[in-house]
Every structure is written in structure tokens, then in C-alpha cells.
Amino acid sequence: MAQSMFKRLARKYIDLQHVLIILICAYLIFTSGSIFIGRSLRTNASFWDQSHVYLGLIGAFLSITFLITTSLKGKWRQYFPWLIGDFSQLKTDILGFFKGKIPIAGGRGLFSVVEGIGMLLFLAVGLTGIGWFATQGSSDALMWRDYHIHLAQALIGFIVVHAISACLHLLDFFRN
């Protein structure tokens, strides 16, 4: 009984992390056009600059904890099957996709691999943001900023693919 209660709490924690990630990412993406940070956060930085930096640091922490909590107890194999050389379900999903079949959710297939790539992108955005923050004032800060911006753009692309995948999953769910 205690184990099932722990599993329910762990699931709720992962769901809460997911909601927080969605909200923080949405805020950071939609306000990123208002950000004017170069080599360092100015002493008279705007609300938008400060909120981006500090919510970004929270997002970086969430990227680490989300990757860890979703990978516990061997679940990392679901999101990163290539690490163990298992491409069977991924191959089946990709071939089926080109034949008009919606990939199945879960397992080691296309949707799970896309989620794994998203977790790694989110982590990379967070780590480059931390790198940018930690090297403020130095010439390296602009290098980290450049990495951060490019990875954030890739993360936006992932979010679009993830949203399409979720819609396809819902379509499949309602069809059955």
C-alpha cells in the first residue's frame, strides 16, 4: 500500500513538473523578444530581463529534475532506446508513419524518442543559460548566449513537433 501511494505521489510530482515546465517555457518564449541581455544582466535591467534570467534558472533546475524523475527505474530506455541499440519499435513507427499509421504512444517508439530529444534539448537550453549566467561580464558570456539562443530555437521546434504528436495521439485515442 505504501509503495502504491509513493507511485501516485511520484506521478503527481512528474505531472506538476510538466505543468511548471509548460508555463515557464511559454513565458520565457513569449517574452524572449523583449530581452536585452548581452554580456551581462545590467544593474538597471528591466523586469523582463530579470524575470527571464531568474525563471530561466528555475527552468534549468526543472530540466535536470524532470530528466532524472522521468528516467528512474529504467524508464530512460523508453526515451533513449538508441543507447541500448534498440531501434525496432522506432523503425516500425517510422515505417508505419510513412504508410499513414499513427505511431503508438509509450514504449520505445517514435513518440517516446521525440520526448527524449525534447528532454535533452530542454536540458541543453537550461545548461547554456546557466553557462551564460555564470560567465557574465566575460567574453565567454556571448558564446554561451549564442548557444543558448540556438538551442532555444531548436526547443521551440521540438515544442511544435511535441504538440503535433500529442494531437495525433489524441486523434488515435478518440478513433479507438
Render pLDDT for 84-137 as a digit per residue (tens, 0 to 9). 999 999 999 999 989 988 888 788 999 999 999 999 999 999 999 999 999 999
Q: Between 142 and 172, name the one with better pLDDT.
A: 142
Mean per-residue pLDDT, 39-43: 84
Annotate 118-146 with three-state secondary structure. Answer: HHHHHHHHHHHHHHHHHCCCCCHHHHHHH
pLDDT attached to residue 1? 60
3-state SS class at 137:
coil
User: What count of other Cβ atoms lies within 10 Å of the Cβ of residue 73?
Assistant: 6
User: What count of other Cβ atoms lies within 10 Å of the Cβ of residue 102?
Assistant: 17
pTM: 0.88
| 113 and 107 Cβ atoms separated by less than 8 Å | no
DSSP structure class, residue 103:
P
Residue 20, classified by CB atoms within 10 Å of its CB into exposed (0-12), middle (13-18) or buried (19+), is middle
- Which distant-in-sequence residues (6+ apart) come within 8 Å of 166 by Cβ? none
Tally the residues of the chain. Answer: 176
Instruction: Single out the residue of 102, 76, 91, 89 nearest to residue 166, CA to CA.
Output: 102
What residue type is assigned to position 44 of the chain?
N
pLDDT attached to residue 2? 60
The pLDDT > 70 percentage for the chain reads: 95
| 17 and 119 Cβ atoms separated by less than 8 Å | no
Q: What is the spatial distance between Cα 126 and Cα 58, in angstroms, rounded to a whole number?
A: 9
Cell numbers representing residue 53 in the block = 534570467
